[in-house]
A and B are shown apart, each in its own frame.
Chain A
């Protein structure tokens, strides 16, 4: 049985009223939904809230879910995306990832971790340069672990368009990080 079949089997069992299957489905996706939510909102309390909303909405909508060529992951992350949009409406469109970096570096931690947080803050600054669509693709791809095809289904775009957005986003980030590094390097040198 492929992974996709296993997931669809769990979905069918949840539709049939099997709590153990729901537990298994939750354990399979909760981590990624949480990461995606945290990426978008930048704080754990809202990420928890969004994860809960997404799964409660999933319970509500699951009776109407049909495979129809749309992978369950894409369907589930569409719910997560909608929950995030509802929450962020009226707030800043994107709570920077830097918040997450601060969260991780707030407690006194080993040097390596602090260094990692600094790198992350640099990545967050680079991400601020991206368009909303590019940032969304980066979130789905690297925070939620979706494939370009799934992202395309989720965003209503072709797979090639998603790859293009990812390519341009990475390019823009690389240019920004290099530009930030250069003055420091030349100063040090």
Chain B
């Protein structure tokens, strides 16, 4: 490397080190979540391992296929806004542990999946999918918080949800803010340990007005 390049490389390294200083509180939060997840996986507890859920979905798909033939597999792959999305959620719900901390963690995992769908739909500007995913999110959150949450891992996850939803609200155009704002309020209450009532407006997957103000191209088959 030439002297000039070496100087610039060193300078760049110094500047990046300064700019990209990690937030230690965040790193510690992630550490707690990762270790809790690992311990639960090693203990064979339901949830924590995404692989566990992959297996679970394979089981769910198989059950659904047995019940309703090919439509079951289609349900297992249905995204929000698609006809079999609610079937998929129902299958997921059947497969959760019936009670206790294991069910809470299962619900928290479901909630993670719903939040990922909300983010994806918001990014695509797919109002139908966003409405469906937000409705499912609020419904799952209400169930999770109905009897209070004491599991610190779940509470940490909810804090993260609150932050993610806040960013989505900040970035969303006005048309998409109503539904996101409701979900944010629910997540704020949940993170503070306050039970959420079941959503008064039934989560009928009401399409959010097109978040981007024009008809987005459909990403659905």
Contacts and interface: CB of A to CB of B under 8 A. Distances in A.
A142 B19 CA distance: 12
Chain A residues touching B, range: 35 or more
Contacts of A57: 50
A143 B39 contact: no
B9 interface: yes
A134 to B, nearest CB: 12
B22 A104 contact: no
A167 B9 CA distance: 10
B5 A38 contact: no
B34 A52 contact: yes
Nearest to A61: B51
Interface string A134-176: 0000100011000000000000000000000001001101100
Interface in B12-54: 12-13, 15-16, 18-23, 26-27, 29-31, 33-35, 37-39, 41-42, 49-51
A38 B22 CA distance: 8
Interface in A36-52: 38-39, 44-49, 51-52
Interface in B114-167: 120, 123-124, 160, 163-164, 167
Contacts of A22: 34-35, 38
Q: Is the interface of B mostly helix, strand, loop or mixed?
A: helix
Interface of A: 14, 17, 19, 22-23, 26-27, 30-31, 34-35, 38-39, 44-49, 51-52, 55-57, 59-60, 89-91, 97, 100-101, 103-104, 116-117, 119-120, 123, 138, 142-143, 167, 170-171, 173-174
Given A39-B20, A104-B21, A138-B12, 9 more contacts: A22-B38, A27-B31, A30-B22, A34-B26, A55-B30, A56-B50, A116-B18, A123-B12, A142-B13
- Nearest 7 pairs between A and B by C-beta? A90-B123, A48-B26, A35-B20, A34-B22, A100-B19, A55-B34, A52-B30
